[in-house]
Amino acid sequence: MLLNKLTQQLGHPRHSFTGWLVKTVLENINETLEGNAAKLVQIQPDNTVLEVGFGPGLGLQKAIHYLTESKGILYGLDYSEYIHNVASKRLQEQIASGKTKLLLGSVEKIPLPDSSVDRVFHCNCYYYWPDLKTCSAELHRVMKPDGLMVATMSMIWMKKVVSLGLLQGIKWQPEYYMDALQATGFRDVRMEEMEDKGFKFNAIFATASK
Ligand SMILES: C[S@@+](CC[C@H](N)C(=O)[O-])C[C@H]1O[C@@H](n2cnc3c(N)ncnc32)[C@H](O)[C@@H]1O
């Protein structure tokens, strides 16, 4: 019962005790994964950048530092109202300056124009998407030709989480996402094992087609 609730809240945190618990856990364990996703996606100072499934907003906080030119803009998209409130508070200053915009919606239908985004990153997120091909095609639609996408996750952690009984029936294995990326126009799709200060993680890279 509690495991089911936690699994649901991980995929869509809501204003509740378990939602707060999930948010607090994410804030405490995912900074390295979020920071590396923002770093590996090679943000240029004038880029338009999108983070999907930003959760408490730690990755957005890291990404904003790379956008040093006035043209550079950062979007975050998440469908959880609760998580929007949390991240809006954390990113108050960047939002007030107009440099960061948080969008409420699903990755199935991203409220951005075609070919408008240079970089996309996400972290611990694709497992919850309703249909990987639909969502991957939507990412490709908003990305500029040759734009880079990076997703980070930890296979070691995921295996531990699954062994605890969480994420039952969820297709979290990277192969599912990589197949969807390949099927929807991305090229150079690959996964690398990486390490940051002793923390082992995986990064999936994909480039939007020309
Ligand atoms: C496990 S949390 C990860 C949050 C953050 N990236 C981290 O690693 O700490 C998954 C996040 O993805 C969001 N999410 C899941 N499915 C989504 C979808 N289809 N569209 C937009 N956001 C989604 C959830 O609301 C949640 O904030």
**pTM of the full structure:** 0.95
26 CA closest ligand 1 atom index: 9
How far, in Å, from the CA of 125 to the mean position of ligand 1? 5
Residue 10 Cβ < 6 Å to ligand 1? yes
Atom 5 of ligand 1, residue of closest alpha carbon: 55
Residue 78 Cβ < 6 Å to ligand 1? yes
Q: What is the pLDDT along the chain (210 residues), one digit of tens a residue?
A: 777 777 788 889 889 888 888 888 888 888 999 999 999 999 999 999 999 999 999 999 999 999 999 999 999 999 999 999 999 999 999 999 999 999 999 999 999 999 999 999 999 999 999 999 999 999 999 999 999 999 999 999 889 888 888 888 888 999 999 999 999 999 999 999 999 999 999 999 999 997
Atom 14 of ligand 1, residue of closest alpha carbon: 53
Atom 25 of ligand 1, residue of closest alpha carbon: 12
Range of the domain at 185: 2-208
Residue 72 Cβ < 6 Å to ligand 1? no
Radius of gyration, alpha carbons of the chain:
16
Residue 38 Cβ < 6 Å to ligand 1? no
CATH of the domain at 65: 3.40.50.150
Residue 83 Cβ < 6 Å to ligand 1? yes
The pLDDT, as a whole number, for residue 25 is 83
Residue 91 Cβ < 6 Å to ligand 1? no
Three-class secondary structure assignment of the chain: CHHHHHHHHHHCCCCCHHHHHHHHHHHHHCHHHHHHHHHHCCCCCCCEEEEECCCCCHHHHHHHHHCCCCCCEEEEEECCHHHHHHHHHHCHHHHHCCCEEEEECCCCCCCCCCCCEEEEEEECCHHHCCCHHHHHHHHHHHEEEEEEEEEEECHHHHHHHHHCCCCCCCCCCHHHHHHHHHHCCEEEEEEEEEEECCEEEEEEEEEECC
Tens-place pLDDT, residues 80-89 = 999 999 999 9
How far, in Å, from the CA of 58 to the mean position of ligand 1? 12
How far, in Å, from the CA of 54 to the mean position of ligand 1? 6
| Domain count of the fold of the chain | 1
Percentage above 70 pLDDT, the chain: 100
- For 144-164, give the DSSP string: EEEEEEEEEE-HHHHHHHHHT
For the beta carbon of residue 167, count every other beta carbon within 10 angstroms: 18
